[in-house]
Structure 1
Amino acid sequence: MTLRKSLVASAVLAATLGLTGCGGSSDSSDNTTPEQPTNTAPTDISLSSTSVNDDLVGAEVGALSATDDADSGFTYTLSADEARFEIVDGNTLKLKDGIALNYEQQTEVSVSVTVTDAGGLSFAKELTVTVADVAPEAGVNLYEFDSKLGSGSSVSYTGQIARHALSAEIKNYIGQLTGDFVTTNSLTGDAVKAQLMALWGDYEAIKDGSLNFADGIETEQNSFAQISSSGKELSGKVAGADAAKMHKDWLAAGSFVGWSEFGAEAATPEGLVFHYFDLLAANIDKYNAGELLVDPAGNQITKLYITETGLDLNQLIQKHTLGALMFSQGTDDYLDEGLTTDNIVAQKDGALYTTLEHQFDEGFGYFGAARNYLEYSDDEIAGKGGRDGFANGYNDYDSNGQIDLAAEYNWGNSTNAAKRDRGATVTTDFTAAAMNAFIAGRKIINDNVGSELSDAQMDELLAHRDIAVANWEKAVAATVVHYINDTLADLDEISDGDYSADNFADLAKHFGEMKGFALNFQFSPFSPFNDDANAGKFAELHALFGDAPVTGDADAIAAYKADLETARDLMQQVYGFNAENVANW
């Protein structure tokens, strides 16, 4: 029985093997692993739209798509150093927040995109985005708004322009004060100070005078009075002299930080201006007495606004004024508490604007931008070339053959914003970010004349305000970094003790611009220097700068350079600047 079972089993096995060996089994394919499809890399990248309007901050460009053997699972990336664009929502290419493209600067830009499929294979392509020129439109890309209270424009800030003009006239006047000019015109220290005090604080005395700073420009206004009729003294609006709405009592001891020696003057923002006037007058009197002004290397100083300790008083006065008056009034008055004012009725009988409209305009006026600021390239705003009719920082956009200083001219910090944007290695756009925010904020106000802003509308207005003042301040901060770099280069020129009068003048100029601009930050309640995390850093910055450049032996200069490099690092940390820009501005 056992034998028979064994024989049967052997027969069955033999039969089975025989069938398999003959290939007659129908299930042979079931024992073979199916061939898997081979993944191939994507072969192209497309963009649903390849054009973006100029001056539109943070604009979306289009949706990215890939050509591949699959239709999903793609990851799109940009290079780590791409400063203008970003990818959001997986496949949408857009400009980064705060960045716009400027048709007047570039008509097209390139961006390199890499797509990686689900299998890890990649393809890269350089895409071209064209920049569409957009015609100026009131309330969109032009700071113009029709009145809701009558016929005409509701925009008015001539007082601010008059003060810009006064500051420009002071700079122009001081810039003439060489030894030869003083001798030819028989000027004394007292005479020079009297003229400066009139320009600073006696509008009635100078309002009918010529605008010498604008020589060579065909302007609509030929005197200060033609800009604004009366009462536009600088003295009345400098921090401390105008106590209204200020976040600090600038007349209190210790409130004003950043300068230690005031001579016979008060230790206040205005007292520092008067101290600079005193130093200038003393230089002129010394020159008239026959004493040579010499720098530490023994070179004669012929520009009498440069002191023997290396202070360029012209630069210090102008840059300090931009902070203690323009930046202070703009941020700490009009764009702070000024935004809580009435938006229902005219500010006064016959006015075409509400108080809120006017307050916002006055804040914008201190930034100094022309109404069609977004129509310029950075080169043009900075006065570094460009198209006919724009290249010198002003443009006759109403085509009447003259430049309206109150609407068609770029002043003060608006020009610094363009200078730093054009000098950035990694793209910044302080100009477009600030100007778009100013326009958008003003539009909210204009659209709602006749009623108070709702909480939501006020929140939106304040958000635009914050963007505007942040970019205004970043432009100033980047300018401080720029002049730290220039001062470091100047110190290299004088470190061996053998240098020219021009080398010393360059050092004085660049130190004056660095120090003067750096005094500005304390005047804004919105400055990052006011953050708890940055407590004490403003005073630290100015301790590193000192009140004059170091011009001693090589070891002292080397130590001072180290201090300036520390100050530069501090500025990078406080403002979050890109390291490459900080090194190259």
Structure 2
Amino acid sequence: MLFRYLLALTVILGTLTLAACGGGGGGGGGLGSNITAPDTDGDGVADENDNCVDDSNEDQADADVDGVGDACDALPATYAFEDDSGASTVSYTGQSARQVLVSDLVSAMLGLERNAATVPSDVVTDLNFYISLDPDIRDASYPPNFALSGGESIIVNDDDAPSETIVPGAISSGKDIISKFAGNDKEDHILGGEFFGWTGFSTPADLLNEYLRILAEETADTTDSIAIAGGTANIGTPTVTEEGLDLRQLIQKFTLGALTFSQGTADYMSIDYGSDANLTLAEGKSYTEGAHDFDEAFGYFGAARNYTEQGDAVIKDPAYQDSVVSDGAIDLRSEFNFANSTNCAKRDLGTAENSNPTDYTTEVFNAFVLGREILQNAANGATESSPGSLSAEASAALNAQIVIAAQTWEKCIAATVVHYINDTLGDMDNFVNEDFSDLDNFLTLAKHWAEMKGFALGLQFSPYSPFRTGAVNGTDVGANVNDLKEVLSLMGEAPVLADGTQNGSLFGGALSASEAKDAYRADLLAARDILERAYAFDSENVANW
């Protein structure tokens, strides 16, 4: 009897429980009632826990970690941020000025001529006008060189009228190149205390000075010639040596690494963004010190503020569109794509028809924008004496975006190195036995090799590099700094020419020109393989870049 009584009681209690919970269908009558928390947007998340009450977002995604979901708090589509009063908080004029300085340095090199009467030391002095002359002395006599290819009007500040040419000092005064070179600004920007990739030079500045010295001597040498099919040809171009060094390309591409990439990653992306100092407003400014540092990293990357809206075909030109503020002029502070930013678009276009096309432009830009949005949120309530707040969760999200931005920027450089490895191999295929097919074959080889080597030297300057961390996209790739040293060693310090020589000797101790060229081709392919593994590149993309 006791068993039957307990069994009956269990059934009754179970029935009452179902009724109270609304179970068993029917109309919800009986002892219970249907009590359901409000869910306005019907996404299955109760309003009291929903970070977007009126917008369905089952995943509750909140990329900028501000407590408001992405569905009702969309991230900016452009690199544009304002404070509560509507004032822009974005500023990186010093970086734009240095981008123009590098461009003007290139123009100066392209304007050189070979002349036996040239005094090499004068050439070095003239080029150092752009690199290392005290800006307080230089700016007063700086010639307006920078211009757009179509002659469009340029704006560089809020006060001057648009002009067809500008000087970098009009964007930001007191800027030079050499003081921000890796190692010159801070010793620890030569990562691990070791600069490598070119024998006999312990700092990037020393190597730059060597390139300038060689270039200056070439301008006074009118006799340089090379063997081409059917005869010889005078090189003529003052920036290229008989050994096949294109000094203009080496200087420009190496500078992009030792200046812009180093400053962007080893400096401005590597600060303590959560410190009180970096969460307070800069004196007399609308932005915090940390947000400004992040802007400066973006300025060294060189993208327009509406970068991805332009599309890869426009970005690669380098492009300029009067599209941030339509005022009939191109604002170099916001509407122009400099340097490394254009390489991302070029590499994306190079994979567009492949099985796994890249989208580096979107990846790097979105990371910059999201990181900056997190810092903008952290500036709420900040004054010059009282800091804003960066939570642990927001800090982690910011750091994740910094890694994405730095590594994707580096992928664009590394993929460009791969591109020039492929071009160099193609140039070697155009040799005619032990001669160059023509002068252009030689000059093109020199150009492509110098771009390959110059960009590759720059891969050593980021602390976020897979050669430093062993990982890319959060995945272990097993790379280390010795692998990068191997890449640079395999490339050597000059191309292998049509006669199989490198810097005057048959490459690698070979017994014939054919053997030497085959060995160097194998070395370049080995270097390419290392880059493919280190950056987890798709093999089809690598073969076709």
Structure 2 contact 291–375 (Cα < 8 Å) conserved: yes
Structure 2 distance, partners of 1:201, 1:236, is 7
Structure 1 contact 198–205 (Cα < 8 Å) conserved: no
Q: Please name the residue that 2:179 is paired with.
A: 236
Mapping 1:369-518, distance limit 5 Å: 369-383=303-317, 392-424=319-351, 425=354, 426-449=356-379, 450=382, 451-494=388-431, 496-498=433-435, 499-518=437-456
Structure 2 contact 344–360 (Cα < 8 Å) conserved: yes
How much does 1:188 deviate? 3.3
Q: Among the aligned pairs, what percent are the same residue?
A: 42
**What CA deviation, in whole Å up to 9, does each residue of 1:49-101 have, x standing for no partner?**
xxxxxxxxxxxxxxxxxxxxxxxxxxxxxxxxxxxxxxxx9xxxxxxxxxxxx
Change (3 A) 1:217 1:278: farther
Structure 1 contact 305–313 (Cα < 8 Å) conserved: yes
Q: Please name the residue that 2:130 is paired with.
A: 199
**What CA deviation, in whole Å up to 9, does each residue of 1:222-281 have, x standing for no partner?**
211111022x1111110110116636265xxxx1111115xxxx5310111110000011
Q: Please name the residue that 2:544 is paired with.
A: 584
Change (3 A) 1:546 1:245: closer
How much does 1:159 deviate? 0.7
Structure 2 contact 319–337 (Cα < 8 Å) conserved: no
Mapping 1:46-445, distance limit 5 Å: 140-148=76-84, 152-179=87-114, 187-202=118-133, 203-208=135-140, 209-215=142-148, 216-221=151-156, 222-230=166-174, 232-243=175-186, 246=189, 248=191, 250=193, 255-261=194-200, 266-287=201-222, 292-297=223-228, 298-337=232-271, 339-341=273-275, 342-348=277-283, 350-383=284-317, 392-424=319-351, 425=354, 426-445=356-375
Give the gaps of 5 or more residues in structure 1. 1-88, 90-136, 384-390
Structure 1 distance, partners of 2:537, 2:438, is 34
Number of residue-to-residue matches in the alignment = 426
Change (3 A) 1:554 1:270: same
Match of 1:295, SS state, is strand
1:196 counterpart letter in structure 2 = L
Question: Which protein is richer in strand relative to its size?
Answer: 1
Change (3 A) 1:464 1:531: closer
The answer to whether 1:557 aligns with 2:517 is yes
Change (3 A) 1:562 1:574: same
- TM-score, normalised on structure 1? 0.69
Structure 2 contact 305–324 (Cα < 8 Å) conserved: no
How much does 1:176 deviate? 2.2
Moved over 4 A (4+): none
Structure 2 distance, partners of 1:140, 1:211, is 35
Match of 1:568, SS state, is helix
Structure 2 distance, partners of 1:296, 1:529, is 40
Match of 1:299, SS state, is strand
Give the gaps of 5 or more residues in structure 2. 1-58, 60-72, 157-165, 383-387, 471-477, 501-512
How much does 1:494 deviate? 2.0
Whichever of the two has the greater Rg, that structure is: 1
**What CA deviation, in whole Å up to 9, does each residue of 1:383-421 have, x standing for no partner?**
1xxxxxxx8444342111111111111001100000000
Structure 2 distance, partners of 1:409, 1:564, is 34
**What CA deviation, in whole Å up to 9, does each residue of 1:320-341 have, x standing for no partner?**
1111111111001100125344
Q: Give me the CA root mean square deviation.
A: 2.3
1:397 counterpart letter in structure 2 = V
1:141 counterpart letter in structure 2 = A
How much does 1:343 deviate? 4.4
- Bigger shift: residues 308-317 or 446-455: 446-455
How much does 1:167 deviate? 0.7
Change (3 A) 1:166 1:281: same
Change (3 A) 1:147 1:229: farther
Match of 1:236, SS state, is helix
